[in-house]
Amino acid sequence: MEVIKHGNILSAYIEDFKRQGKKIGFVPTMGALHEGHLSLVERAGSESDIVVVSIFVNPTQFNNPADLNSYPRNLKKDFDLLEQSPCNLVFTPSVEDIYPVPDTRVFDFGLLDKIMEGAFRPGHFNGVVQVVSKLFDIVKPHKAFFGEKDFQQLAIIRDFVNRSNSEVKIVACPTVREKDGLAMSSRNMLLSECRRKKVAVISKTLSESCNFAVSNNIKQTQKFVVDKIN
């Protein structure tokens, strides 16, 4: 496994691999890696000859500076985990390398970025696509692997790829969960013990409500969910 810090160097590696007929698989991350990320890397390894993992905390997708500053970072641990995976190249660019000049592009996703999480994080998904598009330009992967945990992000990236006629194939991978059902996330480590217990109830309740809804009507299911959460 080799760590590369500059986009022009990584692009040269990729061009050489492609001349050899190698298929490139790409897993973009913001670091603070966990088993969910590693499952993407494993999937990439099973479908590609060369696996590239990027670690870059992208500032343009944070509309709250405090959230950006508190985002967990641990490169040494990330490298240790990736050493045990099919990862061949780790790309750890600086902000200046990705954004030598400010990225002022604004994308039109229709309603996709205005509902669900997007309604509470204006500009977030625009920033996500800014960095993903730049990473795609550098890595030029045949396939890129994203988790279904970030379902709205996945839909928006697919929309961007379709609209831009990109040749990158987007591969959706199943959500990996903790033993209590909570989806694995880098931000989970920021939760207090009390909040950690509370958020686990949400996943459990949603799962149980799906089973409950099969044999009951909507009003009964709504009451079931409310009672469980309360």
Residues 6, 34, 37, 124: which is the catalytic one?
A: 37
What HEC string does the chain produce? CEEECCHHHHHHHHHHHHHCCCCEEEEEECCCCCHHHHHHHHHHHHHCCEEEEEECCCHHHCCCHHHHHHCCCCHHHHHHHHHCCCCCEEECCCHHHHCCCCCCCCCCCCCCCCCHHHHCCCCHHHHHHHHHHHHHHHHCCCEEEEECCCHHHHHHHHHHHHHCCCCCEEEEECCCECCCCCECCHHHHHCCHHHHHHHHHHHHHHHHHHHHHHCCCHHHHHHHHHHHHC
Two tokens, residue 153: 């992000």
Token pair belonging to 185: 């996330």
Q: Which amino acid is at 161?
A: V
Active site residue 34: no
Q: List active site positions.
A: 37
